[in-house]
Structure 1
Amino acid sequence: MDIIQIVGLGLVATVLTLIVKEQKPMFAFMIAMITGIIIFLFLIGKIAEVIQILERMAVRANLNMIYLETILKMIGIAYIAEFGAQIVRDAGQGAIASKIELAGKVLILVMAVPIITVIIETVISLFPS
């Protein structure tokens, strides 16, 4: 049922945006941006549930929580960068949106270095010396 509410909100916002866009383009952009933020806020509870499930699974598997936290931060960066880029792209600024996406990718790569290092060290330790 959540998706019906989200789609309904999106459709109403789209109609409002199309009506307002001809007279006041800035208001049309604000409607689109606010709608995106409302949808994002609506989904935060669902995201929190997924994070709790992953944390419980990590505890049961005796995984180092630092790795799970890092992966969750990487996923968060990806979602936030995509959300920001979409809003900026909606405003007609494709070049800035591309830079936001690039920044997200670089930050994810930086955060991945410790995990990649551990994986490489583990693989190297499997080879006979």
Structure 2
Amino acid sequence: MWKIAAAGIAFTLLAVCLKQIKEEYRTYLMLAAGLFFGYYLLEQIRYLIQSMNQLRQYLSIDNIYMESILKMIGITCLGEFTCDFCKDCGQEALGRQISMAARLTILGFSMPIVLAVLKNVSKLM
């Protein structure tokens, strides 16, 4: 995390300097920074997928639930990145719309899990 924090500070300071020189270069820098951090997150997501596969083996959880959770994680990361990038470029309304679309998509992917929980609760009653 120290490397990420240091890179974030470096990108931010460089962006502040570029803002005074040429605003459009700042946008490109922020996109590059987002891609840099996204690449780092891929490694973390790979570890998360491996852990979830091990968990699925131990608990014999149906594949559809694990797939739904992984899709929700991916949608969250992509939605947040896109939303923040739009806000950084001065397009806050577009960023909020993307954030709302991501939330609704996550809600859609969570329905099989919610239905399974309700099914199990109704069996207990």
Interval containing the TM-score (normalised by the shorter chain): over 0.9
Which residue matches 1:48? 46
* Cα deviation, residue 13, structure 1: 1.4
- Correspondence 1:1-129 to 2 at 5 A: 3-127=1-125
In structure 1, distance between residues paired with 2:111 and 2:40 = 32
Q: Which amino acid aligns with 1:26?
A: E
**Alpha-carbon distance in structure 2 between the residues aligned to 1:115 and 1:14:** 40
The one-letter code matched in structure 1 to 2:26 is A
Percentage identity across paired residues of the two chains: 28
Deviation at 1:94, TM superposition (A): 0.8
Q: What is the Cα deviation at residue 91 of structure 1? A: 0.6
- Runs of 4+ residues over 2 Å off in structure 1: none
Q: Distance in 2 between matches of 1:119 and 1:95?
A: 35
Please report how far the alpha carbon of residue 62 of structure 1 lies from its aligned counterpart in structure 2 after TM superposition: 1.1
TM norm structure 1: 0.90
Q: Where in structure 2 are there 5+ consecutive unaligned residues?
A: none
Q: Alpha-carbon deviations, 1:73-128, whole Å to 9, x = none? A: 1121112111110111111111111001100011011111222112212212222x
Counterpart Cα distance in 1 of 2:35 and 2:100: 22
Q: What is the identity, as a one-letter code, of the residue corresponding to 2:72?
A: M
Displacement of 1:4 = 2.1
Q: Aligned letter for 1:64?
A: D
Structure 1 unmatched runs, 5+ = none
Shift of 1:23: 2.4
Distance 1:34 1:43 in 2: 14
Counterpart residue type for residue 106 of structure 2: I
Q: CA deviation at 1:64?
A: 1.0
Letter in structure 1 aligned against 2:55: M
Count of matched residue positions in the alignment of Structure 1 and Structure 2: 125
CA RMSD of aligned residues (A): 1.2
Look at both structures and tell me which one has the larger radius of gyration over its CA atoms: 1
> d(CA) in 1 for partners of 2:46 and 2:104?
25
